Amino acid sequence: MLKPLVISSLALLIAGSAFAQDSQSFSLGGDTYTAGRVVNQTTPVTADLFAAGERISVTAPVGGSLHSAGRSLRLDAPVEGAAYAAGYVIDLAGPVAGSASLTAAEITVSGSIGGNLRAMASEIVLSGDIGGAALIAAADLQLDGAIAGDAVITVDSVSFGSGARVGGSLTLYADDPDEITVPTSVASEDRVSIRDIEDHPDIQAPVDMREMAGEGFGAMLRSFLVGVVIVALAAALAVAVAPDRVAAVRMRALAAPGRSILAGFVAMSALIGAVLVLAMTLVGLLLVPVAIALTALLIAAGYVAGSYVLGVGLWQLAGREIPGGVAEKAGLAALGALIAGLVALIPVLGWLSWFALVFLGLGAMMAPLFARLSRLGAAR
């Protein structure tokens, strides 16, 4: 009875891994949309390019603008429009005809930018020429390119190369203005203003992106573990209050997982449909908040039940007997929630697996109600 559930889970993991490795793309109205773990754009794009992935490389011309998000981006081809990019490492070696808006831990711009530059990073190396103005925030900045317009720069430290030029006014904000010297070859003295950042508390240099990444990962891990604990506690409460009903839900789900998932889908569809119908009436409109709260409660209950079923299924697959204690059964629910949380990290398919788990638990819980309704219909 466990084979359909286990085989489906393994197929989901294998398919998800393949999706994460290989990039997928499609075109619409001249725009190209591509995503994957490794994205290599080697064919020209007529209009805009939208790219997302861990490593992104663009080696073919982009006729419109570039929109990119990922761990690293390398641009080696011209972009006729603007460039918008966010990630950990950004390397713009190709020319950008329009403006560029960049945020990362490390940014290198060696290609020219026809419009304005807006960049924020821990480390920035700018050797390409900027056709417009520049707004830069960095912990460390190496400037060796020409900026045609005005420049406003917030830094901890800055160094100027032989090719550094600012055609307009140059305003620098720093923690220690006395430590910064701007050569006259960069900008004449009358066009340079160096200000103490402490006098402008609303302007701060960005913190190290590595620190931000570490804090973000820590927060995500804590949230994930708290979620697992909440599922375990909810399952323990259900087992303690209604052990026979929980056992019945577990047996129904493991005996026919496909049927339970279908029943859960029907139940959720009916609930959402009820909310829409109530919203269309004046009297029923007052009951919409109650219906929405009930839907959220059933989704949570379905997830807890589905996690418990998954944990028990994996436990039995390992050849173990189902424990009788409340704490041990809560541990199985935590195991299921942990596995489900890891599977949910798989792009697209992970989101579908979350729905399947909710439908599995919800369908197993609602099966007696569906059976009663079926008997009533047959009696009439």
Q: What angle do CA 368, 372, 374 make, to 5 degrees?
A: 115
Question: Taking the model in full, what pTM does it have?
Answer: 0.52
Give the pLDDT confidence of 309-366 residue by residue, as tens digits: 888 888 888 778 888 777 777 787 778 777 777 776 665 566 677 788 888 888 888 8
Strand duo 24-28 + 31-41: pairing: antiparallel
Compute the distance between CA of residue 324 and CA of residue 314 in angstroms, rounded to an integer: 16
**Burial annotation 253-281 (CB, 10 A radius, 16+ → b, else e):** bbebbeebbebbbebbeebeebbeebeee
Span 7-16, pLDDT tens digits = 344 333 333 3
Domain boundaries, the chain: 23-199, 209-379
Range 224-246 burial, b when 16+ CB lie within 10 A, else e: beebbeebbebbbebbeeeeeeb
First-to-last alpha carbon distance for the chain, in angstroms, is 34
Cα dihedral sign, 345-350-355-359: negative
Residue in the block written with tokens 């490389």: 57
- Cβ neighbors of 239 (< 8 A, separation 6 or more) are 246, 326, 329, 330
- Identity (one letter) of the amino acid at 112? S
Token output for 357:
């788990």
Reduced 3-state DSSP string for the chain: CCHHHHHHHHHHHHHHHHHHHCCEEEEECCEEEEEEEEEEECCCECCCEEEEEEEEEECCCECCCEEEEEEEEEECCCECCCEEEEEEEEEECCCECCCEEEECCEEEECCCECCCEEEEEEEEEECCCECCCEEEEEEEEEECCEECCCEEEEEEEEEECCCCEECCCEEEEECCHHHCCCCCCCCCHHHEEEEEHHHCCCCCCCCCHHHHHHHHHHHHHHHHHHHHHHHHHHHHHHHHHCHHHHHHHHHHHHHCHHHHHHHHHHHHHHHHHHHHHHHCCCCHHHHHHHHHHHHHHHHHHHHHHHHHHHHHHHHHHCCCCCCCCHHHHHHHHHHHHHHHHHHCCCCCHHHHHHHHHHHHHHHHHHHHHHHHHHHHHHHC
Q: Which pLDDT tens digits describe the chain residue by residue (380 residues)?
A: 344 443 344 333 333 333 344 566 778 788 888 877 788 999 999 999 988 777 899 999 999 999 988 788 999 999 999 999 888 899 999 999 999 999 888 999 999 999 999 998 889 999 999 999 999 988 899 999 999 999 999 888 899 999 999 999 999 988 888 888 899 999 999 999 988 867 655 554 444 444 444 444 455 566 667 777 787 788 788 878 888 888 888 888 888 888 888 888 888 777 777 666 666 665 566 666 777 777 788 888 888 888 888 888 888 887 788 887 777 777 877 787 777 777 766 655 666 777 888 888 888 888 777 667 666 555 55
∠ CA 56-60-63, nearest 5°, is 105
